[in-house]
Amino acid sequence: MAVSVIEGNYFQDLLDQPRALADTIAGCEDSPALQSLAQQLGAGEFERVVLTGMGSSLHALYPLLLDLTEFGLTAMLVETSELVHYYARLLSPSTLVIAVSQSGRSAETLRLLELNARRCRLVAVTNTPDSPLAEQANLVVLTRCGPEFSISSKTYVSTLAALAWLGDIVCQRDLDDTRSQMEAIPAAVSGYLGSWRQHVCDVVDVMTGVTDVFLAGRGSSLATTGAGGLIIKESTHFHSEGLSAAAFRHGPFEMLSDKVFVLVFAGDERTAELNLRLSQDVIASGGRSAVVSEVAELGVFQIPEAPLRLRPIVEFLPVEMITLGLAALAGREAGKFELASKITAIE
């Protein structure tokens, strides 16, 4: 089925992702301040690390949560709105807060800064160097994406890269290896995006007639399922939901029909077999499904190889192609806001 993609500003942001990633990675620094922070964490000077953000910024933190926990730190992932209203007791000198906000001035971020009043050490990850978040943080890790039109795309994947760099510093990995691995990512992303027309055609072929989209995975892929479910809704107006592959069996499985599409992320070897079985069971039960992996049969779902820590960056690319395909099926411009705005200024 032939469809036409409206090549608007969101589409241009998608194509700009390799440049944004390359600039962000080039700007990652092994600063004395970050090394000092890593030493303090390793020495147990903080009781806990609270990772916080809203929307895709929150989902981007999930791989870092896994990293810090496996390293032996006590880490928590808390939505910023919940943090300021229900977890405020965590904002003490014994807590390190890592806050992600692309704008650095969303309503919840501003309330966090006001409530914290510099009690906690604060690490900011943001795309806006002159934002309140950056100005009030003790340490700032910048993404270098430039302006973004609407839906989180280049800022999201660049945030994943910046957080991977931060995680490798804290977890005391070889940063030369880290930089080498990260510097290969922009070219891999560019190679995938070079076939965007065929990818969109693939999406249209397998998703025509679909009314509900589920994204399912485990481990670091939960960053992709969470952020992906969000951006499909806001960029296409199709119903979508991101959740764990295990959670899909606890209720949503009952929704299966030929109008339901379940995109399963194979993930790492610890749980890949379980994820693949979910996709097979969805198809056997009358639903539609595909698996995202390096060896997927359909090009749109075949991702470039990447180290596990950086895998969520390339996993996000098929989700973006779904937004273009579903929007084209609906005859709309993907990523064009009609009710929302880029920066959420109201809680």
Concatenate the DSSP letters of all residues of 279-339 into one string: HHHHHHTT-EEEEEBTT-SSGGGBPPP--GGGHHHHHHHHHHHHHHHHHHHHTS-TT--SS
For residue 92, what are the contacts with CB-CB under 8 A and spacing of at least 6? 119, 120
Rounded to whole angstroms, the Cα distance separating 294 from 49 reads: 33
State whether residue 191 is helix, strand or coil.
helix
State in words which class domain 11-186 has: alpha beta
Q: Token pair for residue 280?
A: 């097979």
* CB atoms inside a 10 Å sphere around CB 84: 23
Q: Decide if pLDDT at 341 tops 80.
A: no
Rounded to whole angstroms, the Cα distance separating 231 from 319 reads: 8
Question: Angle 154-170/175-183 helices, nearest 10 degrees?
Answer: 160
CATH of domain 195-330: 3.40.50.10490
For residue 75, what are the contacts with CB-CB under 8 A and spacing of at least 6? 48, 49, 50, 51, 64, 65, 68, 69
Confidence at residue 147, expressed as pLDDT on a 0 to 100 scale: 93
- DSSP-H helix ranges across 171-220: 175-183, 185-193, 196-207
Segment 287-298, tens digit of pLDDT: 999 999 999 999
Give the residue range(s) of CATH 3.40.50.10490 domains in the chain.
Answer: 11-186, 195-330
State whether residue 204 is helix, strand or coil.
helix
Confidence at residue 342, expressed as pLDDT on a 0 to 100 scale: 62
Segment 312-334, tens digit of pLDDT: 999 999 999 999 999 999 999 99
Segment 162-201, tens digit of pLDDT: 999 999 999 999 999 999 999 999 999 999 999 999 999 9
